[in-house]
């Protein structure tokens, strides 16, 4: 089923049983030690839970890789981990579990500012949220955008993206091929893999999305909010200044997937990509069977 803005993709892999489906991702990358922002991460998580209603999240992943019910005791454990651990990893899933329409993932990266770790200056912590497209349609894009800004407000992010994505566990063999075929048709569908991206994103930006959060370093090098605004002329594109010398670029009222087969090339996304090109994250390293040449083509889909 396809609507005017994005496809509805929902199917279950025959052998593995995992779901592949479209959804909305809200990802924030931070170049700061977790211990310096634990309270901020907790505040953002609380805002999300309040927005999607308590009970919407029903499972959590433990340190051994097993899923358990997210009851009151498990919530208390999750909060202790976020507030007390030096490098926590938190993964919370939808109460329905399959598919995960709603989910939270946080990775507190241990190697940030570690002088003994090569490439530590490119590591980042990441906080990621999922929403269903049904939630987007029920609430409307204005309220979802407002929620994204509320989630971002406590966080010391360097960059962030909010937009459509094909939600699937790409580390499972066979899944990547299904993701690849669809994302090569719909340029506005992102491929989420926050653990991979957090290893070397630094202060760069993952690419244009419906909402693109531009951090202080990149915004300064662009010449500030007014300079960025002057370079974006597509109808419906807005640039809003945020505290801390940061900004958010919004590409239209709704997120869009585009469709190469129908000639829907998302010109506003292409314009933003050209402006941000010197600061865009490249070098995606997705696992398993995503062809390297095609992966490069996908990550430059708005530039070529």
Stretch among 46-50, 56-60, 61-65, 195-199 having the lowest mean pLDDT: 195-199
Q: Please, what is the Cα angle at 268 between 262 and 271, to 5 degrees? A: 115
Q: Does 125 reside within a domain?
A: yes
For residue 77, with 0-12 CB atoms within 10 Å meaning exposed, 13-18 middle and 19 or more buried, which class applies? middle
Output the pLDDT for position 194: 78
Residue in 195, 48, 65, 39 with CA at minimum distance from that of residue 130: 48
The three-state secondary structure class of 217 is helix
DSSP notation for 117-176: STTGGG--EEEEEEE-HHHHHHH-HHHHHHHHHHHHTTS--SEEEEEEEEE--TTSTTHH
In a domain, 214, yes or no: no
pLDDT of 180 reads 81
Q: Taking phi first (over 0 means left), then psi (-120 to 50 degrees means alpha), and beta for anything else, what does residue 266 get?
A: left
In a domain, 176, yes or no: yes
Residue 288 inside a domain? The answer is no
What residue numbers bound the domain in which 57 lies? 18-203
In a domain, 170, yes or no: yes
Q: Identify the band that residue 272 occupies on the pLDDT scale cut at 50, 70 and 90.
A: very high
Query: Domain count of the chain?
Result: 1
Where are any strands of DSSP class E within 204-295? 211-214, 237-242, 246-251
Using one digit for the tens of pLDDT, what is the confidence trace for 181-214? 888 899 999 988 777 788 889 999 998 999 999 9
Alpha-carbon gap, residue 207 to 209, rounded angstroms: 6
- pLDDT recorded at residue 69: 95
Rounded CA-CA distance 152/26 in Å is: 9
Q: Residue range 262-267: average pLDDT? A: 96
Q: How confident is the model at residue 118 (pLDDT cuts 50, 70, 90)?
A: low
C-alpha span between 27 and 158 (Å, rounded): 11
Residue 294: what pLDDT? 79
Does any domain span residue 189?
A: yes
Q: Is residue 231 part of a domain?
A: no
Closest CA relative to residue 3, chosen from 267, 212, 254: 254
Q: Is residue 31 part of a domain?
A: yes
Using the predicted structure, report yes or no on whether residue 124 has a pLDDT greater than 80: yes
CA proximity to 207, closest of 266, 148, 261? 266
The CA-based angle 212-175-49, given to 5 degrees, is 45
pLDDT greater than 70 at residue 119:
no
């Amino acid at each position: 089923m396809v609507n005017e803005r994005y496809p509805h993709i929902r199917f279950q892999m025959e052998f593995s049983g995992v779901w592949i489906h479209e959804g909305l991702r809200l990802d924030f990358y931070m170049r700061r030690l977790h211990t310096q922002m634990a309270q901020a991460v907790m505040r953002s998580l609380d805002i999300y839970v309040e927005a999607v209603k308590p009970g919407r999240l029903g499972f959590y992943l433990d340190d051994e890789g097993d899923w358990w019910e997210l009851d009151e005791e498990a919530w208390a454990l999750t909060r202790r981990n976020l507030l007390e651990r030096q490098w926590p990893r938190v993964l919370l899933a939808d109460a329905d579990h399959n598919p995960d329409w709603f989910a939270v993932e946080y990775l507190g990266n241990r190697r940030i500012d570690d002088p003994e770790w090569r490439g530590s200056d490119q590591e980042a912590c990441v906080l990621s949220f999922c929403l269903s497209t049904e939630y987007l349609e029920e609430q409307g894009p204005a309220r979802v955008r407002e929620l994204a800004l509320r989630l971002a407000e406590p966080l010391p992010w360097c960059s962030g993206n909010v937009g459509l994505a094909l939600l699937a566990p790409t580390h499972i063999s066979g899944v990547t091929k299904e993701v690849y075929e669809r994302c090569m048709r719909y340029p506005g569908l992102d491929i989420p893999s926050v653990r991979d991206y957090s290893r070397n994103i630094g202060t760069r930006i993952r690419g244009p999305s419906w909402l693109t959060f531009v951090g202080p370093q990149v915004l300064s090098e662009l010449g500030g909010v007014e300079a960025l605004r002057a370079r974006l002329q597509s109808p419906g594109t807005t640039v809003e200044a945020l505290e801390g010398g940061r900004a958010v670029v919004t590409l239209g009222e709704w997120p869009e997937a585009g469709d190469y087969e129908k000639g829907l090339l998302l010109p506003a996304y292409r314009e933003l990509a050209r402006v941000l090109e010197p600061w865009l994250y490249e070098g995606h390293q997705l696992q398993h069977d995503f062809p390297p040449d095609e992966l490069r083509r996908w990550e430059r889909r708005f530039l070529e």
